[in-house]
Amino acid sequence: MLVLGIESSCDETAVALVDDGRLVLERLATQEAVHAVFGGVVPELASREHLRLLPHLGREVFAATGVRPEDLDGIAVARGPGLLGSLLVGLGYAKGLALAAGVPLVGVNHCQAHLLAAGLEAELPLPAVGLLVSGGHTQLYRIGADLRFELLGLTRDDAAGEAFDKVAKLVNLPYPGGRHVDELSRQGRADPKRFARPLLEPGSLDFSFSGLKTAVAQAVAEHPGFVLGHMALPEQGAPPRAEDMLADMPAGQRQALCDLLASFSLAVVETLVIKTRRAVERVRQQAAGEMPRGLIAAGGVAANSLLRAKLAELAQDMGLQLLLPRPALCTDNAAMIAHAGWRLLRRGLRHDQRLEAVPRGRVVPEDFVVSAGECR
Ligand code: KG4
Ligand code: ZN
């Protein structure tokens, strides 16, 4: 079953072709260079870039695979949550292509697609507890064997990736700063007592990262030398290396900055791991026969080296099979959209041309049109 996936919910424009759930080819263009200097995504610029790039990427996928639009068994598009203007560009492209080629269309929940991305490479160990940690979301789910998603907890303010990006911005590292903070943290010594773990009320599965970001802001205010004199912007093709950005900083100061970032990273990661452990315990207590087998982490922050290591320890300790997509499948991509769309389409679930985009903060409805006789 050939499914084309389209992703345009934030600052990555991507088109991918999946055959029976496995990736055939993806073309992805990141807008990092466009937004880097602003310290975050500028929605208007993002929409324009999607509009400019999407038809080219689509044409490239068709040309490189020799597949024609009318050969497709379906077109899957990220319909939300995301930036509304950006989603509308993807939806317009997907609807036009579906109409012209006469193939089914299905709208995909971007968050669920992240958590299913690991299914591109391996069997999903379901039922599972899913941790979604991206720039826009920090959520814990119970994922049933029937692929039903039950939200267990979510952030009440900043997402984990947003906290990484804001901390990076405090010291003038370019957007998206998560991977720079990760790289520099590996060179630092983390002090586990330096920052509190924001755990909220006893037993809560929700998150709150804005206080942690403020604590780092205070530390930076006390050490103005931590702020880089100029922001290193991405060159065409090659993202800047955090190590090079700190080249001019005196060695002692540089080490102190790495230590601060390492302590921050540890606080975020430990908080995520403590809540994930709690979620597994909660699901085990409530499980009626269906014990969770797997732990699935996804989203851009799941590329974080410390989080990957700590989740591996947690999974081993709790007897769960850990599924972590490779880093390129953790950040936004169209392969995950095509894969999630394939799972829906093969069950006979689809949308028609009335499919609507859902902005961040609103629940994505399960408003599928079920084709009679096709539902499995
Ligand atoms: O999933 P994603 O590509 O986009 C959203 O749907 O939000 O996630 C992007 C987020 C950014 O906040 C980025 O800084 C963060 O993931 N990120 C990381 C790492 N790589 C990407 N955060 C921490 N460590 C990393 N290695
Ligand atoms: Zn995402």
Could you please report the per-residue DSSP string of 146-161?
T--EEEEEEBSS--HH
Ligand 2: centre distance to CA 75 (Å):
19
Residue 72: DSSP 8-state: -
- Which DSSP helix (H) or strand (E) runs through 17? strand 12-19
Distance from C-alpha of 330 to C-alpha of 263, rounded to nearest angstrom: 23
> Helix 210-222 vs helix 251-286: angle between axes, to the nearest 10 degrees?
170
pLDDT (tens digit per residue) in 307-342: 999 999 999 999 999 999 998 899 999 999 999 999
Q: Which ligand 1 atom minimizes the distance to the CA of 137? A: 7
Phi and psi at 364, nearest 5°, equal -80, 120
What is the structure's pLDDT at 236? 61
Neighbours of 222 (CB within 10 A): 7
Ligand 1: centre distance to CA 302 (Å):
8
Ligand 1: centre distance to CA 40 (Å):
12
Assess whether the C-beta atom of 135 lies below 6 angstroms from ligand 1: yes
Ligand 1: centre distance to CA 331 (Å):
6
Task: Note whether 181 and 243 are within 8 A (CB).
Answer: no
Assess whether the C-beta atom of 294 lies below 6 angstroms from ligand 1: no
What is the structure's pLDDT at 219? 97
Assess whether the C-beta atom of 165 lies below 6 angstroms from ligand 1: yes
> With 0-12 CB in 10 A as exposed, 13-18 as middle and 19+ as buried, what is 171?
buried
Distance from C-alpha of 8 to C-alpha of 26, rounded to nearest angstrom: 14
Distance from C-alpha of 144 to C-alpha of 146, rounded to nearest angstrom: 5
Assess whether the C-beta atom of 7 lies below 6 angstroms from ligand 1: no
Query: Which residues surround the ion ligand 2 when the cut-off is CB under 5 Å?
Result: 134, 332
Can you give the pLDDT of all 376 residues of the chain as single tens digits?
Answer: 999 999 999 999 999 999 999 999 999 999 988 888 887 889 999 999 999 999 999 999 999 999 999 999 999 999 999 999 999 999 999 999 999 999 999 999 999 999 999 999 999 999 999 999 999 999 999 999 888 999 999 999 999 999 999 999 999 998 899 999 999 999 999 999 999 999 888 889 999 999 999 999 999 999 999 999 877 777 666 667 888 888 889 999 999 999 999 999 999 999 999 999 999 999 999 876 678 999 999 999 999 999 999 999 999 999 999 999 998 899 999 999 999 999 999 999 999 999 999 999 899 999 999 765 443 3
Q: Which ligand 1 atom minimizes the distance to the CA of 9? A: 6
Q: How far is CA 323 from CA 122, 151, 276, 341, in A?
A: 8, 19, 14, 20
Assess whether the C-beta atom of 82 lies below 6 angstroms from ligand 1: no
Task: Note whether 80 and 364 are within 8 A (CB).
Answer: yes
Q: How far is CA 375 from CA 72, 250, 347, 348, 350, in A?
A: 19, 64, 5, 5, 10
Cross-strand bridge partners of residue 16: 5, 26
> Helix 251-286 vs helix 178-185: angle between axes, to the nearest 10 degrees?
110
Cβ neighbours for 170, distance < 8 A, ≥ 6 positions apart: 213, 216, 217, 220, 227
Nearest CA to ligand 1 atom 16: 300
Q: Which ligand 1 atom minimizes the distance to the CA of 331? A: 3
Distance from C-alpha of 244 to C-alpha of 113, rounded to nearest angstrom: 35
